[in-house]
Amino acid sequence: MLQKRSYYWICQIGGWLSYALTVLFFSYVLQRELNVLFIQRILIGVSLGIIVSHLLRKSIIQSKLRPPTPANQWWKIVVLIIVFTGLYSFINSTLVELFKLYDFRRERTGEVNTPFIFSWNHIFASWNWERVGKRFLFSIFLDTPIFLVWLSVYVLWHYIEFANAEALKKVKLESLIKELELKTIKSQINPHFIFNALNSIRALVDEDPERARKAITELSNILRSSIQVDKVEITSLQKELAIVKDYLALEYIRFADRLKVEYEIEDATLHFAIPPMMLQTLVENAIKHGLSKQPGDCLIKITAKINANKLDLVVQNTGILQAKENDGFGLQSTRDRLNILYGGEAEFSIYQCQPTMVTAKLTIPIQH
């Protein structure tokens, strides 16, 4: 608040001083005599302008007319401008007459001004209401554009301030919506993943209790990692691969020798940031629509490489791509999260790369 008030006074004083310098400049250019009386009138005009315009601002605030002002309230601001411009012009004309800040000879009145003597008799004896009135009308003609410029700057300042505040609110709202959307998606991903993992362990309970205990340990590692999904938006590829390997170890229990896994991971990509559980979702989708729906062996190949300052993550699996797979929950959640996190900078596609091989490709900006 203090900094904001300081800016106001800097603009207020600086604006009126700029007005004074402009008047002096044009007076010099037009070869007008810059005598002491002329300088005094400018100083009084600037000082009075700072006070009256500040009172105008206070009146606007107290009348609850501070911009952005409703269209049906603008007439009140017009009234305030007329009142305060008239007040400024009247006080200015009165002070000029009071202190005799004019040159009679220059105004061709035939009079010669005398030094100002503060005496009520002297003041009233030389007071000329007609001269005050003429100067008041002339001052209103000159001062109205000045106060209109002041009002324009004042309104523009507040509209810019309002626009910035609205933009900040919009960013905060979008951030909140983004966080809520991500939490919604993640809350759906976790039970979906847990359900499939538990199915893998269930098959082991009677057949191989020892392996089942080991599988439970692997599942606990995965669950511990999946809990972190609600707390972070990104993780390293190295940590994500650890989850994927635990998941594939669980799936190997069900499919045994039918499941073949290959990795082509560039070492430079391991520390790059990716959305948590996203690679695991693609691998899970490859198992679900590849190995689970066809006889024989299934190859799962995971590739990570740098391409044109972007990270390419590719999951390939043996199988035939069905049209409805593109609308599945796992792939749709992937698209939604990419859109929320990266906008149009990330890409995701799934296609039949070979007669018996499906490719899911994820391209995201590199984040260290």
Q: What pLDDT, in 10s, does the model give residues 80-104? A: 989 999 898 888 888 887 777 765 4
Place of tokens 């499906």: 358
Q: What is the pLDDT of residues 25-41, one digit of tens each?
A: 888 777 666 778 888 88
- Residue 330 pLDDT level (bands cut at 50, 70, 90): low
pLDDT above 50: residue 264:
yes
257 burial (CB, 10 Å; 0-12 / 13-18 / 19+) is exposed
8-state DSSP, 109:
S
Q: Give the pLDDT confidence score for residue 213 in this predicted structure.
A: 81
**Rounded alpha-carbon distances, angstroms, from residue 99 to 95, 126, 154, 346:** 6, 11, 32, 74
Residue 116, pLDDT > 60, answer: no
What amino acid is encoded at 93 in this protein?
S
Q: In terms of Cα–Cα distance, which of 268, 262, 258, 246 is closest to 293?
A: 258
User: By mean pLDDT, which of 1-5, 35-39, 151-155, 300-304 is the weakest?
Assistant: 1-5
What pLDDT, on a 0 to 100 scale, did the predictor assign at position 314? 96
Among 300, 322, 313, smallest CA distance to 251 is for 300
264 vs 288: which has the higher pLDDT: 264
pLDDT band at 258 (very low <50, low <70, confident <90, very high): confident
Indicate the pLDDT class of residue 362, thresholds 50, 70 and 90.
very high
Domain range annotation of the chain: 2-172, 203-365
For 163-186, what is each residue's pLDDT tens digit?
887 777 777 656 655 665 555 555
- What are the φ and ψ backbone dihedral angles of 116, each rounded to 5 degrees? -75, 130
* Cα-trace Rg, the chain: 39
**35 burial via Cβ count (<10 Å: 0-12, 13-18, 19+):** exposed
Which range in 56-65, 127-136, 162-171 is most confidently predicted, on average pLDDT? 56-65
Q: How far apart are CA 156 and CA 151, in angstroms?
A: 8
* Residue 107 binned pLDDT confidence (cut-offs 50, 70, 90): very low
Give yes or no for residue 145 having a pLDDT over 90: no
- What would the pLDDT profile of 284-315 be if each residue is shown by its tens digit? 888 887 776 777 788 999 999 998 889 999 99
Of 3.30.420.40, 3.40.50.2300, 3.40.50.300, 3.30.565.10, the CATH number of 203-365 is 3.30.565.10
Q: What is the mean pLDDT of residues 59-66?
A: 86
Residue 111 clears pLDDT 60, i.e. is over it: no
Helix axes 209-227, 129-202, angle to 10 degrees: 180
Residues 6+ apart with CB under 8 A from 265: 237, 241, 302, 303, 304
Residue 267 has phi, psi (to 5 degrees) of -60, -35
User: Nearest CA to 320 among 295, 357, 288, 345?
Assistant: 357
pTM, two decimals, is: 0.49
pLDDT at site 219: 79
Average pLDDT over residues 139-150: 85
How far, in Å, CA of 149 to CA of 161, rounded? 18
Q: What is the mean pLDDT of residues 350-366?
A: 90
Q: How confident is the model at residue 226 (pLDDT cuts 50, 70, 90)?
A: low
| Residue 108: per-residue pLDDT | 42
Residue 106: the pLDDT is: 45
Q: What's the CA dihedral at 281, 286, 288, 293 to 10 degrees?
A: 170
The residue behind tokens 């604006």 is 15
Q: pLDDT of 186-222, one tens digit each?
A: 555 555 556 766 776 776 777 778 877 888 887 787 7
Read off the pLDDT band of 265 (50, 70, 90).
very high
